Structure 1
Amino acid sequence: MSGAQGKKGRVLIVGAGISGLTAATALGRQGWQVDVIERKSSIDDSGGVGLTLIGNAMRALDVIGVAHKCVEAGVPADFLNIMRADGTLLMENPVPRIGGSEWPGGTGIRRAAFHAILLEAAGNVISSLRCGETATRWSEERGQVLVTFSTGYSAAYDLMIAADGLNSSTRAELMPDIKPNPSGQACWRVPVPRPPGIDRTHLFFGGKHGAVGVCPISDDLAYMYIVQAYDGGRQDPTRLHEIFADEVEGYGGLIAELVKHVTDPTQVNFSPLPAMIVPKPWGKGRVVLIGDAAHANPPVLAQGAAMGIEDAIVLAEEISATPGDIPDALNRFVERRYDRARRVVEASWQLARAEVEHRKDVDIHAIMRETAMQLAAPM
């Protein structure tokens, strides 16, 4: 960790996930003294498997100097294969380079590898990262946030950033009535060996689920996923591998081949998919929400992580532009981010409900095309 005192002020970040580490790095590089706390006892990838970083995410990550590392660690692609449920190829679909010509349309990457890249970048510029610690209470006095931690220690900050995820305790304290809404969908994810020659995502349509896919994320690893309608029922954790196999029964090609590797229930991740957009101003006073704490959406547009990364970069830009007037900087931040995040949440929700309700009147391709055009614009 860097021991240098920030020239611009002191910032606390609650949460060491994707949004929190990106914000920590961006602010540290801008000369702020940054402390990060994480409620878990260690910094990890939250048990995730993999994700796809679309071009706008790469454009934002380039600001903190890690985009090229992500491309090198992952599997970049400018196409995805649209498959029939029986495993035959329907079409090769281009993935537009919405982040600019330098960045691939999409890059599949292991969550653990991505988290390690962000952690290394943050570690080079922040003051401290403390695990197993939470902010138990805070108040504002004379232009500072006075924070008391679960360890009993107290400190004063110019800004407190809540990047503590979908179930944010900070949001619950500030806005107890704002909670994620179920989208009516859930997602299964499980790691599998990467088949030889698979250099892009294969997305299967026409079966019993909205989407079934295989995404390569490293030289030797891919992950299978299912996005399906979900009524809120529980899954038996000891049978997740068996239930997953049942869900993809009838699919051919890669799916039938790879499901044979799904034998361990502890490797299967099942999670309901929520949707949420917190109303402006995304916080109170000198406490601001970013990432999943402020907005969440089903993964159909592959924008969950990207929106949090963009939040972090824009927030660092705005408060660094006027470090002596953080309240005004926070207003500018929310004005820049709110409509962009809202459009992604609403488009994702519309696509999720269309699948759940078997809507035939929703132009899925038009929604995805329009959203991509909007995200190609600067943050």
Structure 2
Amino acid sequence: MASELVGRVLIVGAGIAGMAAAISLRRVGAEVDLVDVDPEWKVSGAGLTITGPTLRAFRQLGVYDEVAAQGYVGEGIRVCGVDGEPLRDVPTAMPPGSGVCGSGGIARPVLHGILSARVLAAGVKPRLGVGVGRLDQDAEGVDVAFDDGSAGRYAMVVGADGIGSRTRAQILPDAPGPVYTGQSVFRIIVPRPSWVHQRHYFLGGVAKVGWTPISDTQMYLFAVERTPRRMREPSELRRGLVDLLTPYGGHVRRIRESIDEATAIVYRPLESFHLPSPWHVGRVIVIGDAAHPTTPQLASGAGMAVEDALVLGEEVGARGSVAEVFAAFTARRGERCRFVVESSIEIGRLEQEQAPPQEQTAVVERALAKLVEPI
């Protein structure tokens, strides 16, 4: 029924949301075209922190075992002071029967490799270096003009093209855009000591520092600073990160002392917004960061993207028209994604105010407890 309902689907963007959507829609019989403007289909960045609900979404997508084998899965978040001494542990256990751990991490390129292999195995071959120049809709479909001069007609178009989504601008030209939150983040990959078995936060300083294991041998360290929006020059990154970590003791101090000119440092300003529902016009919808880009404080951006893809596939398999699919999708996703965005921004606000660690972790605990609810 699904292929008759949606016919041919175009997914714009082959990141986490787009790849998950391709896998999910192929499961229910949809014919999928996937395009991405990046001619190399590569991914940048260091590591990705994963919550229990995100691991549950990966399980539903069918990739949990690979994520667990190639990344890290475990339990709990250890909250420490600036000196590195533990303050308390935040539980992360998922409900019995969920079949997943409560916390995890993985290198972004590794996750990209897992998902891209599944996309290809599903019979979807992305067209790379290709963007969408124009979308023209009528009651029966969408005519798409691509940047390379080709064209196609689709029953449904899914914009999964990220925070700067061109699809969003095409269908919702007056929609809000990304807003800088007042914080930027440094990330580096470092060796994982044998005694590190869980995520760590180091709170109470001018920055929020933490690390997440991403494999048996590696973890990534992040440091979030409050600063006016700026893009640091590559030559500034090492000194900026070292200065930010200077007040910290324990193993963070040892990591700081190991940072040199050869250390690969990823730096980006944190931007966010929540697109008011609905996220669709006619037969075109946006998902993932195109609709609800969130800051990393709640470690749920990837999870929300994969959940979007899963729900879209479920509704395509259950509904009788594209309009019904989009209405049901909006009802299931709008409030949950708004909650993630607003909770993440609230945690960032508390960090910038240097609120006591217990106030910061209380928001994290409440949010994780909410996200454990079924999607």
Give the alignment's TM-score, normalised by structure 2. Answer: 0.94
Match of 2:302 in 1: 305
1:296-322: CA deviations, max 9, x gaps?
A: 222111111111111110011112212
Partner of 1:34 in structure 2? Answer: 32
- What's the secondary structure of 1:295's corresponding residue? coil
Q: 1:364 aligns with which of 353, 360, 364?
A: 360
Distance 1:192 1:203 in 2: 16
Whether contact under 8 Å (1:241, 1:265) holds in the other structure is no
2:151 corresponding residue in structure 1: 154
Q: Secondary structure at the match of 2:198?
A: coil
Cα distance in 2 between the residues matched to 1:244 and 1:369: 28
**Aligned-CA RMSD value:** 2.0
Classify the secondary structure of the residue corresponding to 1:197.
Answer: coil
Question: Counterpart of 2:190?
Answer: 192
Q: Is the 8 A contact 1:280 1:338 kept in 2?
A: yes
2: CA distance between counterparts of 1:17 and 1:74? 18
Q: Is 1:342 matched up with 2:331?
A: no
User: C-alpha offsets along residues 106-150 of structure 1, whole Å, 9 cap, x if unaligned?
Assistant: 111111111111111111114331110001111113411111111
Q: How far apart, in 2, do the equivalents of 1:348 and 1:106 lie?
A: 17
Gap runs ≥5 in structure 2:
none
Q: Is contact 1:42-1:131 (8 Å) kept? A: yes
Q: Comparing 358-367 with 331-340, which one deviates more in the overlay?
A: 358-367
Other structure's SS at 2:219 match: strand
Among candidates 119, 122, 137, match of residue 125 of structure 1? 122
Which position in structure 2 is the counterpart of 1:82?
Answer: 79
Alignment map for 1:150-229 (pairs within 5 Å): 150-177=147-174, 178-209=176-207, 211-229=208-226
Identity of aligned residues (%): 35
Distance 2:11 2:39 in 1: 16
Residue 16 and residue 97 in structure 1: after superposition, are their counterparts in 2 closer, same or farther (change >3 A)? same
8 Å contact from structure 2 (residues 296, 344) kept in 1: yes
Q: What is the CA-CA distance between 1:101 and the residue it aligns to?
A: 4.1
Q: What is the rounded CA distance, in whole Å, between the counterparts of 1:290 and 1:362 in structure 2?
A: 33
Structure 1 distance, partners of 2:282, 2:335, is 21
Residue correspondence of structure 1 range 61-100 to structure 2 within 5 A: 61-97=58-94
CA distance in 2, matches of 1:221, 1:104: 19
The amino acid that maps onto 1:88 is: E
Do residues 289 (structure 1) and 286 (structure 2) align? yes
Change (3 A) 1:79 1:234: same
Q: Aligned partners of 1:337, 1:212: CA distance in 2, in Å?
A: 31
Query: How far did residue 336 of structure 1 move?
Result: 0.7
Moved more, 347-356 or 261-270: 261-270
The alpha-carbon deviation at position 226 of structure 1 amounts to 0.7
Match of 2:21 in 1: 23
* Conserved? CA contact 1:354–1:362, under 8 Å: no
**Shift of residue 265, structure 1, vs aligned partner:** 6.7
Q: Distance in 1 between matches of 2:258 and 2:9?
A: 45
Contact 2:56-2:98 at 8 Å conserved across structures:
no
Residue aligning to 1:314: 311
TM-score by length of 1: 0.93
* Residues 99 and 106 (structure 1), Cα distance of their counterparts in 2 relative to 1, 3 Å cut: farther
Partner SS, residue 297 of structure 1? coil
Report the counterpart of residue 371 of structure 2 in structure 1: 375
* C-alpha contact 1:35 1:127 (8 A) present in aligned 2: yes
Q: Does 1:268 align with 2:265?
A: yes
Structure 1, gaps ≥5 residues long: none
Other structure's SS at 1:296 match: coil
| Contact 2:186–2:224 under 8 Å retained in 1 | yes
Q: Does the Cα contact within 8 Å between 2:351 and 2:360 map onto a contact in 1?
A: no
8 Å CA contact retained: 1:171, 1:293:
yes
Residue 375 of structure 1 aligns to which amino acid in structure 2? L
Q: In structure 1, which of residues 46, 49, 73 is the aligned counterpart of residue 46 of structure 2?
A: 49
